[in-house]
Copies of this chain bind each other. A is one copy, B any other.
Amino acid sequence: MQLSTKARYASRALVELALQYGEEPVKLKDIAARQDISLKYLEQVMFPLRVCGYVKTQKGSKGGYILARPPQEVTLLEIIECVEGSVAPVECADNPDLCKRSERCCTHHAWIGLKDAITRELGKISLADLAGKHLLLNKD
């Protein structure tokens, strides 16, 4: 049940972008340095976020990444679904047909309940919430 580093790095990177929302593009190099993440790996983490339309980019010097949507409209749920594909704890929660047993499986229904709980929790945490929390925790 562990979240991948992809999901964690993506979340932290997007919080950085949220903190600079409306300003200049942010360089991945700076995020990587501040967050102790390998630049080359972070590049790969950002790729699906661009495809999904959460970030926009500008090449060249003065280039970088910007958040493509208002921070209060992007949730952890969307971010994780984008980089990990799903928050389902089991494949059958997304695709019952994968297991012939699904319909009559009592645990199948429990896993769907779990997925729903995860979805609810992550869906209510926005980048704006996280950015606000960040400022609160780091005001010194």
Q: How far is the CA of A5 from the CA of B75 in the complex (A)?
A: 29
A2 CA to B89 CA, complexed, in Å: 4
**Residue ID in chain B nearest A100 by CB atoms:** B36
* Cβ of A3 under 8 Å from chain B: yes
Q: Are B1 and A84 in contact (CB under 8 A)?
A: yes
Given that A106-B131, A130-B106 are contacting pairs, would A89 and B1 also be in contact in the complex, using a CB cutoff of 8 Å? yes
- Residue numbers of A with Cβ under 8 A of B are 1-4, 7-8, 11-12, 15, 36, 76, 80, 84, 86-91, 101, 103-107, 109-111, 113-114, 117-118, 120-122, 125, 130-131, 133-134, 137-138
> How far in angstroms is the closest Cβ of chain B from A39?
18
In the bound assembly, the distance between CA atoms of A120 and B117 in angstroms comes to: 9
A86 to B87, CA, bound (A): 17
Q: Is B113 a contact partner of A121 (Cβ separation < 8 A)?
A: yes
- Residue pair A106, B3 in contact (C-beta under 8 Å): no
| This protein's copies in its complex | 2
Supply 9 A–B pairs (Cβ within 8 Å), ascending by A. A1-B89, A3-B111, A106-B130, A109-B133, A110-B130, A113-B125, A114-B118, A117-B118, A118-B118
Q: Judging by beta carbons under 8 Å apart, are B1 and A107 in contact? A: no
Closest to A76 in B: B110
Determine the distance from Cα of A59 to Cα of B114 in the docked complex, in whole angstroms: 36
Q: How far is the CA of A10 from the CA of B41 in the complex (A)?
A: 35
